[in-house]
Chain A
Amino acid sequence: MTTPLPERYIAATVKYLSPELQAEVRPELHASIADAVEAQVAQGEDYETAERNVLTELGDPAVLAASYSDRTLQLIGPRYYLSWWCLLKRLLLIVPAAVLGVVAFAQLLAGGDLGDIIGGSIGAAVTAGLHVCFWVTLVFAILERSDADTGITWDVDQLPEPRQQDPGRLDLIASLVFLGLMILVVLWDQIPGFIRIGDQSIPILSPALWPWAMLGLLGIIGLEIGFAILLYVKRQWNATLAIINTVLSVLFFSWVISLLVRGELFSEMFLELAVDNAVSGDSFYTIAVIFGLSVGIICVWDIIDGWVKTYRVGASDAAEQQPAATQ
């Protein structure tokens, strides 16, 4: 004999609920359904039809269970939708393009033919895009489900000066996603490897950097993460933050340059691969210089950016005080 419909309905509903809630909801729902069926039967409906009517009216058990447990029925609600969409657009503009560039360059060094280079780099860019979509959405879906309301309650004082760069939650998440990706890239390079020839994977960064230099790099990234959070908590740039930012950038720059100059940054296999593909000693030197310069430019830009933002905050504060003084 099959289980009666109401039993099946109740089982389908409570299976979504926590054990305590199950114990509460099960007997109550049981009584409510029985009452409703009884009332319909008393009005002359036959028993089976009455059961069906009552359960149909109650609707999808999953929806009923969700409203019992106050569960969110959307992935990302209106509270976070705009932030999610804004951040996703920003990252989708940057990350896949950056990955495309890096992978194309790596493949070029690895001496793939044109088809491989185009195919490989486009594939990697698409994968990176999917990763961005997934991780950003995951972060916001978790935010949506946590009660972490702190920091997004809005008040008038938060209205930014029109030109002032307000380091907000978006910047924080952007920094965290970027730094997280960086850690992933470093680890990915060491373990599965970006460049694969046959079964052999060739790390770009030298495995000899383990453990100390590599831990140093991860440590610097960790400090950057800490800094991003500190910046978010402080809400505004100030001289201390600009100094910390400068120190971190200089640290990162020193890490790259000292290893680059000593020739310890890239793995031998990676360099051999480049030599195999007719990169002469001279062009090695040129590439190293260009690489070092690029890192330098990025670090200097980051340092200046911090100070410019600090200056702007100071300027807008002064602008706020001036009219008050003349009154």
Chain B
Amino acid sequence: MVEAFEPHIQELRRGTVVLACLQLLRTPGYGYGLLEDLQRAGFVTEANTLYPLLRRLEKQGHLTSHWDTGESRPRKFYQTSKRGLGLAEAMHSEWLALSKSVDALGDDPLTNEEK
């Protein structure tokens, strides 16, 4: 990828991490586990953005949390709340609408050039 594209691409990605978290946390998950899940799902996220983001979403009521002390070390598990599900739904339909609009702008820019 051309280096000068990077900031724009990142800007485009930024909001999608929230959506991905809300969707993935329909089943409870903890910080590092979620980080790996996100990476596997194709959302490249830094740990230092994810952890504060989780806290913010929890504070806004989109996530609920509880401490699980059953395993080798105590971990804070997050789960998408009812309100969070609503947000995820709204973001998802927005994404679909945007994607449609982007497609409607024209076909692949490369083929456009050839015309």
Q: B-contacting residues of A (Cβ < 8 Å)?
A: 24-25, 27-29, 31-32, 34-36, 39, 54, 57-59, 63-64, 67-68, 70
Contact = CB atoms under 8 A, between A and B. Distances in A.
A45 to B, nearest CB: 15
27 contacts: A24-B55, A27-B67, A27-B74, A28-B31, A28-B51, A28-B76, A29-B51, A31-B32, A31-B74, A32-B32, A32-B51, A35-B30, A35-B75, A36-B35, A39-B32, A57-B46, A57-B47, A57-B48, A58-B47, A58-B48, A59-B46, A63-B48, A64-B48, A67-B48, A67-B52, A68-B55, A70-B56
B49 A35 contact: no
A35 B73 CA distance: 9
Nearest to A27: B74
A25 B49 CA distance: 14
B62 to A, nearest CB: 16
Contacts of A67: 48-49, 52
B40 to A, nearest CB: 13
A167 B46 CA distance: 47
Interface residues of B, number: 19
A82 to B, nearest CB: 23
A7 to B, nearest CB: 15
Given A39-B36, A64-B52, A68-B52, A34 B73 contact: yes
B60 to A, nearest CB: 11
A39 B37 CA distance: 13
Contacts of A58: 47-48
A57 B50 CA distance: 12
Given A24-B55, A27-B74, A70-B56, A35 B31 contact: yes
Nearest to B49: A67
Decide if the interface of chain A is mainly helix, strand, loop or mixed.
helix
B42 interface: no
Interface of B: 30-33, 35-36, 46-49, 51-52, 55-56, 67, 73-76
Contacts of B55: 24-25, 68
Contacts of A25: 55
B32 A36 contact: yes
A18 to B, nearest CB: 13
Nearest to B33: A35
A35 B76 CA distance: 12
A57 B39 CA distance: 15
A181 B36 CA distance: 58
A58 B75 CA distance: 18
Contacts of A31: 30-32, 73-76
Given A31-B75, A64-B51, A64-B52, 16 more contacts: A28-B51, A31-B30, A31-B32, A31-B76, A32-B30, A32-B47, A34-B73, A35-B33, A39-B36, A54-B47, A57-B48, A58-B48, A59-B46, A64-B48, A67-B52, A68-B55
Contacts of B73: 31, 34-35
A39 B52 CA distance: 21
A93 B81 CA distance: 56
Contacts of A64: 48, 51-52
Contacts of B35: 36
Nearest to B67: A27
A36 B47 contact: yes
Given A36-B32, A70-B56, A27 B48 contact: no
Of B46, B48, B74, the most chain A CB neighbours within 10 A belong to B48
* 6 shortest interchain CB distances as A-B pairs: A35-B32, A67-B52, A32-B31, A28-B76, A68-B52, A31-B75
A24 B66 CA distance: 11
B98 to A, nearest CB: 25
Nearest to B71: A31
A58 B49 CA distance: 9
Contacts of A35: 30-33, 73, 75
Of A35, A57, A64, the most chain B CB neighbours within 10 A belong to A35
B44 to A, nearest CB: 13
B111 to A, nearest CB: 39
